[in-house]
Amino acid sequence: MVVLVAKPTIEQHQIPLIKSPKQSTFLSIIPIIDLSDPVSASTSMVKACSEYGFFKVTSHGIPMELINKLEAEAVKFFSLPQIEKERLGQPNPFGYGNKKIGANGDVGWLEYLLLDITSKSKNKSFISSFLSEPSSTSFCAALNEYIAAMRRLARQVLELLADGLGIKQRDIFSKLVMNEESDSVFRVNHYPPYPLLQGFNCSLTGFGEHTDPQVISVLRSNNTAGLQIALRDGSWVSVPPDQESFFINVGDSLQVLTNGRFRSVKHRVLANGMRSRLSMIYFGGPAPKQRLAPLQQLMEEGEQSLYKEFTWFEYKASAYKSRLADNRLAQFEKQKQLVSDGKTLINHQ
């Protein structure tokens, strides 16, 4: 007899539930990198990217005033009546979205704004229609200032990573996201509280498990917990929130550029039972025509690329057809060669 076990969901929206045993206070394993000491920062960052693909940065020099200004504008936006937010239309993928993530059936307990921040982008319809309204001038100003700061922080982190890897050309990674054609995205997520599951050992999915496709993501949230990262053994670790710091995720593209030395971190968000979570994330992506392949400077003698050649345009087109939890890099991986006594036995390509 075949027994089909359906994934538990909350009926109304089909949002999956996640088992979440109550966690007692624990010592966090999340690496903390202090940017005021660049030499030690570059070494510890490389270690963190290899082990977890994730770390927290402190002493980043971004004024709290700038962060708080954008957070306050975002809170104001999400507090608008639902009908007004929905008047902005369906996300395409940019714009205002509610519960639906992407176009392929993923759902979560959140609402969000997804913005195309590519300098050269022609697809700015949402930003221009909404953000050019006089009532949104202060939101738009806060966004521009904050995004500029995120670009600088991403550049600093990527240059330190090149230093830590011993690459002479410091801008080898950063130029990919600083280029005026770089395909970067900015996202503000609002996860309302979901009190109905309090006392049960499960939570409602806020943002389902996934890796970020770009090079690097810079995340900041308010003090509400919910973000978790997956370790190599598949176990999930909660990230203690810290509203004064930034969290860095290695994206799929950086995993490819480093031929797997850095790990694109799997992460997810659980809805909180008591409080709203607000997060703002800058995703630094390459230009569409950028070829993604392991850097020659990193390859050791005889080392083979783990990936077939592709451009960001090709990767993104395929990523946007996938579901959140899919392994998007799998179809770009080369089959492993089996070597015995120096002779290649199998080479599936």
Ligand X SMILES: C=C1C[C@]23C[C@@]1(O)CC[C@H]2[C@@]12CC[C@H](O)[C@@](C)(C(=O)O1)[C@H]2[C@@H]3C(=O)O
Residues that bind Fe ion (CB under 5 A): 212
Taking the complex as a whole, how short is the minimal distance between the CB of residue 215 and ligand X, in angstroms? 11
Instruction: Identify whether the C-beta of residue 329 lies closer than 8 Å to the C-beta of residue 256.
Output: yes
Residue written as tokens 């109905």? 196
Choose, by CB under 6 A, the member of 48, 215, 324, 329 that binds ligand X.
Answer: 324
# binding residues, ligand X (CB under 6 A): 17
Q: Does 187 bind ligand X (CB under 6 A)?
A: yes
Name which of 73 and 212 has its Cβ closer to Fe ion.
Answer: 212
Q: Are 91 and 164 a contacting pair, CB within 8 Å?
A: no
Which residues are at the interface with ligand AKG (CB under 6 A)?
Answer: 187, 189, 207, 212, 219, 221, 227, 267, 269, 279, 281
106 binds, among Fe ion, ligand X, ligand AKG, none (CB under 5 to 8 A by kind): ligand X
Would you say 138 or 243 has its CB closer to ligand AKG? 243
Residue nearest to Fe ion (CB): 212
Residue 111 found at the interface with ligand X (CB under 6 A): no
In the complex with ligand X, which residue's Cβ is closer, 74 or 160?
Answer: 74
Residues 212-271 interacting with ligand X (rule: CB under 6 A): 212-213
Residue ranges binding ligand X (CB under 6 A):
93, 101-102, 104, 106, 114, 185, 187, 210, 212-213, 283, 319-320, 322-324
